[in-house]
């Protein structure tokens, strides 16, 4: 029997990169996946990849910075598949690059609303549905920058630190109610966003930050997510797991 057989999972930011890798792997392991993103084209491509491989999935467009979109997303998952068991709050943006004293206010508001408030809004509606299903598991996508900092990204660093703290607080609230909540902290992962937006010299500089000598791959994050979301991690909650090629060990 597959690890997630007959379970329903929401994955946000699943139109590409890490989110797509997680959605595809969950479906391969038997989950019915609600693929969510603001990018309709990418989201539908993820659904096509899942269904062509024999899996079950549908796309629902949702902006994680909207409480109402998060509510509708959960409602649609339950309406379509009867219950919600798992969620991966993966959607996020990098935001502007600037020193704190020069950081654009609108950039700060946007990064915090998507990367931090969006995780809260997700859990706000996911948790009651998961409780109604008898329990389950949630993963919040943090970052190595949920543990350390980098200059020029105060909003992103603050949001990802907040995700780690929010994860721990929620995990404590629901540990006795059969809902496990954990965070994953990827380092720099080779996604389409990185490959399209950065030149070769910049990518090589990023590689140099990782003792393992390369960037991570989306499937490497997905494999950890699969373990954490499944019953194989039944005694794990309130934890932060780095997928970082040794970045945080330096």
Interval 120-126 mean pLDDT: 99
For residues 216 and 243, is the Cβ–Cβ distance under 8 A? Answer: yes
pLDDT in tens, 10-52: 999 999 999 999 999 999 999 999 999 999 999 999 999 999 9
For residues 134 and 151, is the Cβ–Cβ distance under 8 A? Answer: no
pLDDT(1) > 80? no
Active site residues: 156
pLDDT(163) > 80? yes
In order of start, what are the domains of the chain with their CATH numbers?
8-237 (3.40.50.720)
**Tokens found for residue 221:** 């994050």
Q: Which pLDDT value is given to residue 101? A: 98
CA distance 129 to 131: 5
Neighbours of 57 (CB within 10 A): 25
pLDDT(86) > 80? yes
CA distance 156 to 141: 12
In terms of pLDDT, which residue wins out, 233 or 195? 233
Q: Which pLDDT value is given to residue 195? A: 83
Band (pLDDT 50/70/90 cuts) for residue 87 is: very high
- Rg of the chain's alpha carbons, rounded to an integer? 17
């Amino acid at each position: 029997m597959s690890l997630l057989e007959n379970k329903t999972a929401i994955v946000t930011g699943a139109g590409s990169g890490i989110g797509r890798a997680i959605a595809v792997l969950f479906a391969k392991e038997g989950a019915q996946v609600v693929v969510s993103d603001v990018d309709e084209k990418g989201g539908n491509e993820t659904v096509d990849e899942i269904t062509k491989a024999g899996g079950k999935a549908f796309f629902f467009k949702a902006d994680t910075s909207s409480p109402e979109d998060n509510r509708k997303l959960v409602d649609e998952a339950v309406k379509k598949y009867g219950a919600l068991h798992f969620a991966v709050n993966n959607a996020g943006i990098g935001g502007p690059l600037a020193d704190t004293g020069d950081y654009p206010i609108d950039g700060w508001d946007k990064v915090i609303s998507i990367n931090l408030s969006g995780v809260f809004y997700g859990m706000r509606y996911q948790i009651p549905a998961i409780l109604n299903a008898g329990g389950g598991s949630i993963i919040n996508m943090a970052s190595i920058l949920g543990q350390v900092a980098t200059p020029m990204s105060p909003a992103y660093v603050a949001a990802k630190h907040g995700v780690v703290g929010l994860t721990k607080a929620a995990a404590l609230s629901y540990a006795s109610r059969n809902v496990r909540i954990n965070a994953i902290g990827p380092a720099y992962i080779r996604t389409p966003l990185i490959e399209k937006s950065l030149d070769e010299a910049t990518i090589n500089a990023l590689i140099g930050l990782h003792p393992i000598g390369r960037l991570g791959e989306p499937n490497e994050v997905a494999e950890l997510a699969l373990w954490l979301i499944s019953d194989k991690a039944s005694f794990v909650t309130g934890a932060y797991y780095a997928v970082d090629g040794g970045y945080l060990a330096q």
